[in-house]
Chains A and B, each alone.
Chain A
Amino acid sequence: MTTVLSKPAGLLYDGADWDYDKIKRVYDAVEDIAVNDMGLNVYPNQIEVITAEQMLDAYSSIGMPLMYRHWSFGKHFARDEMLYRKGYRGLAYEIVINSSPCISYIMEENTMTMQTLVIAHAAFGHNHFFKNNQLFQQWTDAKGILDYLEFAKSYIGQCEERYGLAAVERVLDAAHALMTQGVHKYPKKRPLDLREERRREQNRQQYEEETFNDLWRTVPKPAAGGRPPSRTLSERKKLLGLPEENILYFLEKKAPRLEHWQREILRIVRHIAQYFYPQKQTKLMNEGCATYTHYTIMNRLHQKGLISDGAMLEFLHSHTSVVFQPDFDDQRFSGINPYALGFAMMQDIQRIAENPTDEDREWFPDLAGRGDGIGALRDAWANFRDESFVLQYLSPHLMRTMKLFAVRDDAEDPNLIVEHIHNERGYRNLRRMLARQYDLAYLEPDIQIVDVDLAGDRKLILHHRVTNGVLLDENDAKAVLRHIANLWGYEVQLVEVSAVSEAILKEHAVTAPSALFA
């Protein structure tokens, strides 16, 4: 081991080049800090070295290592490749997959410092979040996802062989268009098990026995053979499980004219959408957690003398560009950077827990001065999602630091109005509004299937409950309705209803497809 002797004592690595030994050493050192100092709890790690082209590949197939084939992935690849080759855009340093073992991709052209950063960020930061956050625990199956994708890929491949590329493509197009409307947002009622069922039946009998009254026998019954009671609207809705906001689920289960394989494809897309649902809800926290983790670990490595000053400077350079937040009037501004806000909030929580001010004590009585900063963070990471996290933890101090303010844009008003700023009157409102900016239920339009005219022309009726008068984008809505009609097989109508007044604001309708997927 001559290389070990030639570099300054104690350093894990020296220079920019990486090799497997160095990565192993760095991983062990990072793991030591992450597990023993920070108390992180992670899935087993698997680190995969890939090339730039493979990184582009991973981009285009929504970050998953294997994916079924569809033209939209090819489209994204073509665009990303062009942007990358022409130098308009760099590549991400890493991609991490919520699976067990947790797979982190590192690129071959990264320097050793970048690899260290990526290991700390992805293999420990994101990994810990995936394993411990309650949303991920509730909604995703980290152990099964890769197997499921393998199944999905081969199943769709077989369908393409059997029914033709075009037929499969039509179903996938439609399913992709409905992907955001393809998730269960609340846990469904679980099917009852047999024992439970029997117990209920016994209870019912017992109740009847206890309340038996012979008088009821004498009540005259309606004559047999009468007209069967017509099904009322509410009964019909109940039978179909309406209203239903998971449109993909409804179509998969209830669309009358779909083939078995078409239902299965809808199911696959729905499962994938569901798998990504927690990620959409926790972008801010997930990145905040990973950024905080890598920042802490890199600093600790430097303190311990395991990485050189040069490496530390290189790290700080990329770290600061990652957590950079341009102001609203800056040309580079494109919304709030989740890395910046996430990281700032994590640091702020640690500060409040360890060195609170009087203001913090007033705002966060449970948290302030608790002492154990990292413990408080672990609690937050486990139990919140972006919306509730901001609502719970955004402090006046941070609002002042970031100079947050709220603007109202009313289309009827020629000017924008500053509603709240970072002052005593505005803190709570600002926090509430920012939290709502992260609330998917608020961000995504509320669209539900409300009725099907089963006795008549089987028209499917959807409602969009309009909040604040913001309607759907008409062209896209029409296109999606066309997709729904293709799956449903009959006419589809979308009504935009004001959530406040129940007034009908707009209607879209598409006629039944002339020919079903043939």
Chain B
Amino acid sequence: MNIIDRRRNPQGKSLANRQRFLRRAKEQVVKAVREASSKRGIQDIENGDKITISAGGVREPSFHRAQSGGIRDYVVPGNKEFVEKDTIARPPGGGGGGGNEGSPDGEGEDDFRFVLSREEFLDIFLEDLELPDLVKQRVKQSESHSLTRAGYSVTGSPSNLNLVRTMRNSLSRRIALHRPKVDELFDLEREIAELEAKEGDPALLEELRERYARQSSRSKRIPFIDPIDVRYNRFETVPKPIAQAVMFCLMDVSGSMTEHMKDLAKRFFMLLYLFLKRRYRSVDIVFIRHTHEAKEVDEQTFFYSTETGGTVVSTALEEMQRIVRERYPDQEWNIYAAQASDGDNMSSDNAKSATLLRDVILPMCQYFAYIEVAAEHNMGLSALGRETELWRTYKIVQAPTLPLAMRRVRSRREIYPVFRDLFAKDKVGA
């Protein structure tokens, strides 16, 4: 009998099968993911979860008998009262007192349920979305280098000494040159000592002594570690390509923005962040909130602290311009901006905002998304055709060649569709 411990065997043996399965069921999985994500909050959108797909597309058909029709006989246990020729009312759903075969893979027409991992979920969730205008993605060269292992070298600093290589070289050289082993010398020494003690055969003793002298001088001549054995790890510096992006979140926090609107905005920003995060290795976020004056704040303040005041949108755009100039030169950064607002603006500011947007902000941005959030109960105002101040302002600026997109969102449900709409692959080409 053998006992073999297989627990350390490579895990994930079924991974290849799983990928094949997901590929196979892709259409349905994508649909299921979309449905699942519309039901849950953006906060936990990153988690994988149980999803349900219809068994149809991944059905494994086989010839088997139909569930109903014809004559069937069953032998079942547990008779308590029946005698021959008794009749039993047919149990609902056919079946006939159990014992029927069931479907071949044991799952019938039921839906198929399984769990997607977080990565799989995100992959599918954000699939087919493309970042607009990727041309500007830069490889940032300045001062960002990383060291990569690049083989071995014969020179180097002691801290980079590669012991394994060095000892391997040393060992093979010692073997090749027949350097006597330490044990061998010891054995000789002992033999000589024994012979001397016993005063044995002088000829043999002489021969041993001679051999000992020869071997020990040999072991002195051939060093244990020779400089030619020594190897160092070699590193090369490679410029680290950083595709980096900065995301500006602009939001109106004046009194007219309700919690609900802020919540909508937050969800949109999170989705955008999640999306950028997957495309760029590093994504910076800048939060700018504004009333009649704009300020860069941290996330907590951005979403949760309240402020009162008027609404002057151009201040936020100016603030963004300032920050870009100071910290994010647009040759090196991909700049994305998303603005959320309820559409209010001081009438006197409209012209300024439009100019600023057209002449300064849009040229440096990869993409500028304007999301107009509305109160849920208040729906229909804009749908009825009354456009808000800001909407009208931006609409003038909008042109097919400019990276500006505008959408209205009223309820949580709409966030994801709007987001998809903005970043859908075919849109980008246009």
A residues with CB within 8 A of B: 20, 23-24, 27, 31, 44-51, 53-54, 56-57, 60-61, 69-79, 81-82, 85-86, 101, 105, 108, 123, 165, 169, 173, 176-181, 325-330, 333-336, 402-411, 414-423, 425-426, 430, 433-434, 436-437, 443-445, 447, 464, 466, 468-477, 479-480, 483
Contacts and interface: CB of A to CB of B under 8 A. Distances in A.
Contacts of A61: 14, 17
B74 A406 contact: yes
Contacts of A483: 61
15 contacts: A27-B1, A49-B7, A54-B7, A61-B17, A69-B20, A78-B18, A409-B97, A415-B88, A417-B85, A418-B83, A418-B85, A468-B72, A471-B66, A472-B63, A473-B67
A71 B58 contact: yes
B228 interface: no
Interface string B100-136: 0100010100001111000000000000000000000
A472 B70 CA distance: 11
Contact of A328 (B20, B23, B77, B87): B77
Contacts of B7: 49-51, 54, 108
Contact of A47 (B2, B17, B62): B2
A330 B62 CA distance: 30
B114 A82 contact: yes
A72 B23 CA distance: 11
Interface of B: 1-7, 9, 11, 13-14, 16-25, 50, 58-80, 82-90, 96-99, 101, 105, 107, 112-115
A472 B73 contact: no
Given A54-B7, A411-B69, A477-B63, A74 B77 contact: no
Contact of A71 (B24, B77, B78, B87): B24
B86 A417 contact: yes
Nearest to A326: B78
The 10 closest A-B pairs by CB, nearest first: A327-B78, A74-B21, A409-B96, A74-B17, A470-B70, A469-B70, A78-B114, A479-B61, A71-B20, A415-B87
Secondary structure dominating the interface of A: mixed
* Most chain B beta carbons < 10 A, residue from A45, A417, A443: A417
A271 to B, nearest CB: 18
B6 A50 contact: yes
B78 A79 contact: no
Nearest to A468: B71
Contacts of A180: 62-63
B4 A49 contact: yes
Given A402-B77, A403-B80, A480-B62, A78 B2 contact: no
A406 B78 CA distance: 11
B58 A476 contact: no
Nearest to B66: A473
Given A409-B96, A421-B79, A472 B65 contact: yes
A418 B5 CA distance: 53
A50 B319 CA distance: 61
A411 B105 CA distance: 24
A335 B77 CA distance: 9
A402 B80 CA distance: 10
B78 A74 contact: no
Contacts of B62: 177-180, 476, 480
* Most chain B beta carbons < 10 A, residue from A423, A471, A474: A471
B3 A24 contact: yes
B84 A46 contact: no
Contacts, number: 265
Contacts of B84: 418-421, 423, 425-426
Contacts of B99: 328, 335-336, 437
Contacts of B4: 46-49
A46 B2 contact: yes
Nearest to B78: A327
Contacts of B75: 336, 404-407, 430, 433-434, 437
A169 B75 CA distance: 40
B63 A49 contact: no
A473 B80 contact: no
Contacts of B90: 409, 414-416
B50 A82 contact: yes
A101 B3 CA distance: 12
Given A73-B14, A415-B88, A425-B84, A474 B66 contact: yes
B115 A70 contact: no
A479 B59 contact: yes
Given A411-B71, A418-B82, A483-B61, A69 B98 contact: no
Contacts of B14: 56-57, 60-61, 73-74, 77
A60 B97 contact: no
Contacts of B6: 48-50, 54, 105
* Most chain B beta carbons < 10 A, residue from A46, A326, A329, A483: A329
Given A81-B114, A421-B79, A445 B63 contact: yes
B253 to A, nearest CB: 43
A410 B90 CA distance: 10
Contacts of B97: 328, 407, 409, 416
A418 B78 CA distance: 13
A182 B89 CA distance: 39
Nearest to B18: A74
Contact of B77 (A57, A181, A336, A433): A336
A472 B69 contact: no
Contact of B79 (A31, A54, A416, A422): A422
Contacts of B86: 417-418
A27 B3 CA distance: 10
Given A23-B3, A69-B16, A336 B70 contact: no
Given A407-B96, A426-B84, A469-B69, A20 B79 contact: no
A53 B18 CA distance: 14
A476 B63 contact: yes
Nearest to A401: B77
Given A74-B22, A415-B87, A330 B78 contact: yes
A415 B73 CA distance: 13
A78 B84 CA distance: 46
Contacts of B68: 411
* Most chain A beta carbons < 10 A, residue from B14, B63, B87, B101: B63
A480 B5 CA distance: 41
Nearest to B19: A74
Contacts of A468: 70-72
B73 A433 contact: yes
Nearest to B65: A470
B304 to A, nearest CB: 36
A77 B22 CA distance: 12
Contact of B64 (A69, A433, A473): A473
Contacts of A403: 77-80
Nearest to A471: B66
* Most chain A beta carbons < 10 A, residue from B67, B73, B105, B114: B73
Contact of B20 (A70, A329, A417, A420): A70
A438 B48 CA distance: 43
Given A73-B17, A79-B114, A479-B61, A408 B1 contact: no
A187 B74 CA distance: 31
Contacts of B82: 405, 418, 421
B71 A469 contact: yes
Given A71-B58, A408-B72, 6 more contacts: A48-B3, A165-B23, A177-B61, A414-B90, A415-B88, A418-B88
A405 B74 CA distance: 8
Contact of A74 (B20, B65, B76): B20
A31 to B, nearest CB: 8
Contacts of B80: 327, 403
A480 B25 CA distance: 19
Contact of B9 (A54, A73, A404, A474): A54
* Most chain A beta carbons < 10 A, residue from B64, B80, B82, B113: B64
A270 B58 CA distance: 22
B1 A44 contact: yes
A178 B85 CA distance: 40
